[in-house]
């Protein structure tokens, strides 16, 4: 059988290596061809036999194809055609992470395709939760959402962190996870957004300074803030049609992580259309100026100050709670 792994580079590569390791642990002879994979070498490997039968082939097409464009397509098609012609007797594991939909269809026609796309939005949190469970990490509270907040869509980074957390003989909480992960830049990015949305200009500037001193590029900080504002705008729109929308329904509608969506809903409750447009205008103007060559750090500071002052006038009254 020919088994092919495609999709996200990390996930497809990890599944491919796991299958190779499983074959070796089962006592199979494994012939690996990576950057030395050519039609000639593949033909030789397909034709050879071993002491214990036909060896398991492990083929990395990504490492093998060095050319680009039409030349790369030709090289890849030649290798695929050889495997296709080998028929059901061929026994190969193939890593083709960048397989296009057309190539995926071709692989399925004569083999087994394991397509592993990068998880996004709510699927990413569910994937993290499954990784934690699979690694045997005990948790209390939404540790998966916390890791998503800290790592964003850095799937390899999350997987590496879970590999470290699995050795701890303790039940992890979100607070303990933040303490253990020790990603100050990521934590400060969320603290900056919280300070801006709370209307605390002084704390926002202190946090912004800590971010810059840690080496975070202003354009990246701006992108994180713009994403949060976009989420708030989505929540404002949802509240217009359903004033009682809750965190779960909002997260599903916006395809976002429930944790930041809950924050965005609380902020949306303090904004009307005029205030929201003012907030969006500040972000858009700063992003445009940055991309037009203006001093990025100065534009970020000005945007933070404007947004914090705007939100200061929108503070929730004392004793007010979050809508449920």
Instruction: Give the CATH number, domain containing residue 175.
Output: 1.10.8
CATH number for the domain spanning 109: value is: 3.40.50.300
pLDDT at 53 over 90: no
Q: pLDDT per residue over 18-47, tens digit each?
A: 999 999 888 888 899 988 898 899 998 888
Q: Is residue 255 part of a domain?
A: yes
Chosen domain end from 181, 198, 232: 181
Residues 224 and 278 in one domain: yes
| Per-residue pLDDT at 174 exceeds 90 | no
pLDDT of residue 317: 42
**What residues have CB less than 8 Å from 1, skipping those under 6 apart?**
88, 90, 91, 111, 112
Q: Tokens 């012609």 label which residue?
A: 85
Q: Which one is predicted more confidently, 113 or 181?
A: 113
Instruction: Name the average pLDDT for the chain.
Output: 85
Residue ending a domain, choose from 148, 164, 181 = 181
For 4, 29, 41, 208, 271, the CA distances from 93, given in Å and listed in that order, are: 6, 13, 15, 48, 55
pLDDT at 321 over 60: no
Domain end among 134, 150, 181: 181
Question: Domain total for the chain?
Answer: 3
* 177 and 189 together in one domain: no
First to last CA, the chain: 53
The reply to whether 320 falls in a domain is: no
The mean pLDDT value for 236-249 works out to 89
Does 18 reside within a domain? yes
Residue length of the chain:
324
Kindly tell me if the per-residue pLDDT of 320 is higher than 90. Answer: no
Q: What mean pLDDT comes out for the span 136-165?
A: 89
Looking up residue 306, the CATH number of its domain turns out to be 1.20.272.10
The answer on pLDDT for 59 being more than 50 is yes
Kindly tell me if the per-residue pLDDT of 204 is higher than 60.
yes
pLDDT value at residue 272: 80
Confidence label for 324 from pLDDT (cuts 50, 70 and 90): very low
What phi, psi does 197 have (nearest 5°)? -70, -20
pLDDT band at 184 (very low <50, low <70, confident <90, very high): low
Same domain, 129 and 200: no
Task: Look up the domain containing 9 and give its range.
Answer: 2-116
Report CA Rg, the chain. 25
**175 assigned to some structural domain:** yes
Q: Region 151-155: what's the mean pLDDT?
A: 83
Within a domain: residue 278?
A: yes
Q: In the prediction, which pLDDT does 319 show?
A: 38
Q: What pLDDT score does 318 carry? A: 37
Same domain as 281, residue 225 = yes
pLDDT at 60 over 50: yes
pLDDT at residue 322, as a whole number: 37
**DSSP line for 192-261:** HHHHHHTT-HHHHHHHHHHHHHTT--HHHHHHHHHHHHHHHHHHHHHHHH-TT--HHHHHHHHT--HHHH
Average pLDDT over residues 280-307: 90
Say whether both 97 and 214 belong to one domain: no
Are both 191 and 94 inside the same structural domain? no
Helix axes 218-241, 184-197, angle to 10 degrees: 50
User: Angle at CA 53, nearest 5°, toward 14 and 26?
Assistant: 40
**Domain for residue 304, yes or no?**
yes
- pLDDT, residue 263, reads 81
């Amino acid at each position: 059988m020919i088994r092919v792994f495609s999709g996200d580079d990390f996930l497809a590569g990890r599944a491919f290596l796991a299958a190779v390791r499983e074959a070796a642990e089962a006592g199979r002879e494994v012939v690996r061809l990576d950057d030395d994979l050519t039609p000639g070498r593949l033909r030789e490997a397909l034709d050879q036999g071993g002491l214990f039968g036909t060896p398991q082939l492990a083929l990395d097409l990504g490492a093998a194809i060095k050319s680009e464009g039409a030349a790369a397509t030709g090289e890849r098609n030649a290798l695929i055609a050889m495997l296709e012609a080998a028929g059901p007797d061929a026994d190969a594991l193939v890593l083709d992470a960048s397989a296009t939909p057309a190539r995926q269809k071709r692989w399925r026609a004569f083999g087994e395709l394991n397509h592993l796309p990068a998880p996004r939005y709510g699927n990413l949190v569910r994937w993290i939760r499954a990784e934690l469970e699979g690694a045997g990490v005990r948790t209390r509270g939404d540790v998966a959402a916390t890791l998503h907040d800290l790592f964003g869509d850095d799937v390899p980074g999350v997987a590496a962190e879970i590999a470290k957390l699995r050795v701890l003989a303790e039940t992890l909480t979100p607070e303990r996870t933040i303490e253990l992960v020790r990603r100050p830049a990521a934590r400060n990015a969320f603290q900056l957004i919280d300070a801006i949305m709370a209307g605390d200009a002084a704390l926002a500037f202190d946090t912004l300074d800590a971010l810059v001193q840690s080496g975070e590029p202003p354009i990246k900080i701006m992108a994180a803030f713009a994403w949060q504002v976009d989420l708030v705008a989505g929540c404002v729109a949802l509240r217009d049609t359903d004033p009682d929308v809750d965190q779960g329904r909002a997260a599903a509608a916006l395809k976002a992580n429930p944790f930041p969506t809950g924050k965005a809903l609380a902020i949306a409750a303090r904004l009307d259309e005029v205030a929201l447009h003012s907030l969006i205008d500040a972000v858009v103007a700063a992003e445009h100026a940055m991309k037009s060559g203006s001093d990025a750090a100065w534009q970020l500071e000005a945007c933070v100050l404007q947004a914090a002052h705007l939100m200061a006038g929108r503070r929730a009254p004392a004793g007010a709670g979050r809508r449920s």
